[in-house]
Structure 1
Amino acid sequence: MAVENVSVAFKLYCLTVMTLVAATYTVSLRYTRTISSGDLYFSTTAVCITEVIKLILSLGMLTKETGSLTRLKNALVEHVFFSPKELLKLSVPSVVYAVQNNMAFLALSNLDAAVYQVTYQLKIPCTALCTVLMLNRSLSRLQWFSVFMLCGGVTLVQWKPAEATNVQQIEQSPFVGFVAIAIAVICSGFAGVYFEKVLKSSDTSLWVRNIQMYLSGIVVTLIGVFMNDGEKVLEKGFFFGYTPWVCFVVFLASVGGLYTSVVVKYTDNIMKGFSAAAAIVLSTVASVLLFGLQITLSFASGALLVCVSIYLYGLPKQDTSKLSQKDADTESKQRLITV
């Protein structure tokens, strides 16, 4: 695999920025969907615009990387216009992510929120398993332990006890809900690791790969707009309900998406999951300050588990081959002494 060598400081910088952007995005999104006054915008159009902005930003970064508009044109012609196979290859994660989002919606329609939150955290070990199977990468026992510790920590952070209600709910099918969430978990792990494999399996520029994926992403999200909100969009307009805060949310989602691809390129999807978990903790703390959310024992315990798991996963792996050789040498010396 062709992977560029980058400094640890750069990796930490990307992980930190991605974590902060994700936390800010979560809080800002909650504000625009619950507190902000005015007409509610269509979330499907916001997702589509995010893909467009990520495409524009990637074009800008590729222009900077190539150094001239002529080289940019040549790169686009070679890798985009005359590479239908590559476009098809990068359309796979876009389609899989679309399936994941729909399955998550179906799961939420058939499962209680608490059950959904717990089971959906299985995407973390699923991503680790896909990393081992698809990238032929090994994880130490301590890293596997930290992965499942992270899973439990995120579950506790997001845990909210179910409240009794007299509101009549729609008929739910737990079986359909669990099947849907199983598909969503598999899609999440597969799509992320698949994209990582594509990024690291060739010397093709990260920004070229992003452009290839975002082009298919725009098509997929446009289909989602007209399938879910088509009539309303035609009636009220594509940018109905947009405010400066909504534009800020779209911008954060775009920047976060770019940093996510950088993190996947230079670290891995498991570290991306740890960063996302840290973002959940930060956004929850921000919600305490901004929205009056109450800190609970489960949140404090979960936050501690998340922090410890991040530390454990980051510990250097022990070189078992050297240890085995050392043991073998020791055993040989003991035999010589015995003889």
Structure 2
Amino acid sequence: MAAENASVLFKLYCLTVMTMIAAAYTVALRYTRTISSGDLYFSTTAVCITEVIKLILSMGMLTKETGSPTRLKNVLVEHVLCSPRELLKLSVPSLVYAVQNNMAFLALSNLDAAVYQVTYQLKIPCTALCTVLMLNRSLSRLQWFSVFMLCGGVSLVQWKPAEATKVQIEQNPVLGFMAIAVAVVCSGFAGVYFEKVLKSSDTSLWVRNIQMYMSGILVTLIGVFMNDGENVLEKGFFFGYTPWVCFVVFLASVGGLYTSVVVKYTDNIMKGFSAAAAIVLSTVASVLLFGLQITLSFASGALLVCVSIYLYGLPKQDTSKLSRQHTDQESKQKLITV
């Protein structure tokens, strides 16, 4: 009984942390792009630093996993230095994730955190579609129904977007929605692609992360100098950085890695609750910090999205088991008839 209670407590802990990270990241990022005083930092440099921190953290986890410096060196030589083909393979999701992360900054510069949090759940149908096409999996009728419900909820949220009264900068909601659209497509494709690469071999998750983040650093550096090269050379790489910006980078770095580790200890229903709770927290924070005015269409759409996330996470019925049970019942009925 104690072990069961400990397991439940640990799952609740995982749920709470994932929820807080998801909500805090969007709210803090929105704050640094719209309200935080001081010079505006370059979002491309923040994305690049995030990749560097993820690489360092993954190196630390791999060191712990291998258990000795010698084994760590052998693994890095075998899978990184002597595997250019694998590095090239992982450069695909690293490029896509770099685009996704930059789109998040663009979206939250033009949309409220709560609107972003709801709309970003479109990654669920996008991921579902990529899963069907790339991994040859099937979805249940309930999951397809929840996907359409989610799209309907997002449409309601975007029908008459809620306005934030405390944001003084000029915003372009259409540009923000287009940025989210690109981000969700990138999220769905990159996530499924990375899963396919992971399952194609027995290579450690942390090795794969290192391969991806090494490519990611190169890709994001190119992005820095293509988009903000002159300004970075003139003002410096860390221009405009404040404690809030560092907090955003920290959440982006640790959040993804933490979530990937604890996901195996939770089920889809708990992940659904986490996403729904993050929407609620983001909405409350947006009302308090940004003066978000909740509309009926926003509230209705957000509710539909939360319900659809829960329905999508419900476990699929074991059709083979149901079929066997049906066959057994037919056999018993025939015996009774005879």
**Which range, TM-score by smaller chain?**
0.7 to 0.9
After superposition, the C-alpha distances for 1:298-336 in whole angstroms (9 at most, x for unaligned) are 232233223322332333322222222222233334344
Check conservation: 2:117, 2:279, Cα contact below 8 A.
no
Per mean C-alpha deviation after superposition, the further-off stretch among 200-209 and 148-157 is: 148-157
Alignment check: 8 A CA contact 1:86 1:212 kept? yes
Query: 317-326 or 24-33: which moved more?
Result: 317-326
- Structure 1 unaligned blocks of 5 or more: none
Deviation at 1:246, TM superposition (A): 1.0
Distance 1:140 1:40, change over 3 A: same
Moved more, 169-178 or 94-103: 169-178
CA apart distance, 1:27: 0.9
Alpha-carbon distance change, 173 to 41 in structure 1, aligned in 2, over 3 angstroms: closer
User: How far apart, in 1, do the equivalents of 2:24 and 2:74 lie?
Assistant: 37
Q: 1:84, 1:213 → 2: CA distance? A: 12
Q: CA deviation at 1:236?
A: 0.7
Structure 2 distance, partners of 1:166, 1:282, is: 18
Q: Cα–Cα, structure 1 residues 224 and 264, in superposed 2: closer, same or farther, change >3 Å?
A: farther
- Unpaired runs of 5+ in structure 2? none
Residue 207 (structure 1) shift = 1.3
**Alpha-carbon distance change, 304 to 121 in structure 1, aligned in 2, over 3 angstroms:** closer
Aligned 8 A contact 1:14 1:259 in 2: no
Contact between 1:3 and 1:200, CA under 8 Å: does it hold in 2?
A: no
Query: Contact 2:42–2:228 at 8 Å: present in 1 too?
Result: yes
Cα distance in 1 for partners of 2:281, 2:273 equals 13
| CA shift in 2, pair 1:49/1:204, >3 Å | same
Greater mean deviation of Cα atoms: 35-44 or 3-12: 3-12
Contact 2:150 2:308 in 1 (8 A): yes
Normalization by structure 1: what TM-score? 0.79
Equivalent residues of 1:2, 1:200 under 8 A apart: no
Report matched runs for 1:213-292 at 5 Å. Answer: 213-262=212-261, 278-292=277-291
- Aligned 8 A contact 2:119 2:154 in 1: no
Deviation at 1:152, TM superposition (A): 3.1
* Structure 2 CA distance for partners of 1:189 and 1:316, relative to 1, 3 Å: closer
SS at match of 2:293: coil
Q: Deviations over 1:231-254 (max 9, x none)?
A: 111111111111111111111110
Structure 1: distance between partners of 2:126 and 2:51: 26
The answer on whether the counterparts of 1:121 and 1:155 sit within 8 Å (CA) in structure 2 is no
Name the stretch that deviates more: 102-111 or 204-213.
102-111
Q: How many angstroms apart in 1 are the aligned matches of 2:296 and 2:27?
A: 21
- Asked if the contact 1:55/1:214 (under 8 Å) is kept, the reply is yes
**Is contact 1:114-1:160 (8 Å) kept?**
no
- TM-aligned CA distance change 1:307 to 1:230, over 3 Å: same
C-alpha distance in 1, partners of 2:226/2:270? Answer: 34
Q: Could you list the per-position Cα deviations for residues 138-188 of structure 1 after superposition, in whole angstroms to 9, with x for gaps in the alignment? A: 322112222332333344456544999999x99999999999998765443
Farther-moved stretch of structure 1 (28-37 vs 138-147) = 138-147
What SS does the corresponding residue of 1:110 show, helix, strand or coil?
coil
Task: Tell me, yes or no, if the aligned pair for 1:123 and 1:186 is still in contact at 8 Å.
Answer: yes
Q: CA deviation at 1:41?
A: 0.7
More deviation in 81-90 or 192-201?
192-201
In structure 2, distance between residues paired with 1:49 and 1:248: 12
Question: How far 1:191 sits from its partner (Å)?
Answer: 1.4
Structure-2 residue corresponding to 1:87: 87
Note if contact 1:154-1:277 (Cα within 8 Å) is conserved in structure 2. no
Identity within the alignment, %: 91
Q: Distance in 2 between matches of 1:67 and 1:227?
A: 40
- Larger deviation, residues 292-301 vs 77-86: 292-301
In the alignment, the residues of structure 2 paired with residue 32 and residue 2 of structure 1 have an alpha-carbon distance, to the nearest angstrom, of 44
Deviations 1:180-224 (A, max 9, x none): 998765443221100112223332221111111110011111111
Deviations 1:252-273 (A, max 9, x none): 1101221344367778999978
Displacement of 1:67 in angstroms is 2.0
Aligned residues: 338
Q: Is the 8 A contact 2:162 2:298 kept in 1?
A: no
Secondary structure at the aligned position of 1:3 is classed as helix
Aligned partners of 1:34, 1:176: CA distance in 2, in Å? 15
Take 2:61 and 2:147, find their aligned partners in 1: how far apart are those partners?
33
1:91-121 CA distance string (max 9 Å, x none): 1112233455788999999999999999976
Give the direction of change, closer, same or farther, for the CA distance of 1:217–1:126 in structure 2 (3 Å limit).
same
Residue 291 (structure 1) shift? 2.1
Q: Distance in 2 between matches of 1:289 and 1:195?
A: 38
For 2:54 and 2:179, the matched residues in 1 are separated by 29
Between the aligned partners of 2:2 and 2:201, the Cα distance in structure 1 is 6
Q: State how far apart, in whole Å, the 2-side matches of 1:171 and 1:35 are.
A: 12
Residue pair 1:150, 1:277 contacting (<8 A) in 2 also:
no
> Which residue pairs with 2:298 in the alignment?
299
Where 2:2 maps in the other structure, the secondary structure is: coil
**Which 10-residue stretch deviates more, 223-232 or 11-20?**
11-20
Separation (CA, whole Å) in 1 of partners of 2:151 and 2:182: 18
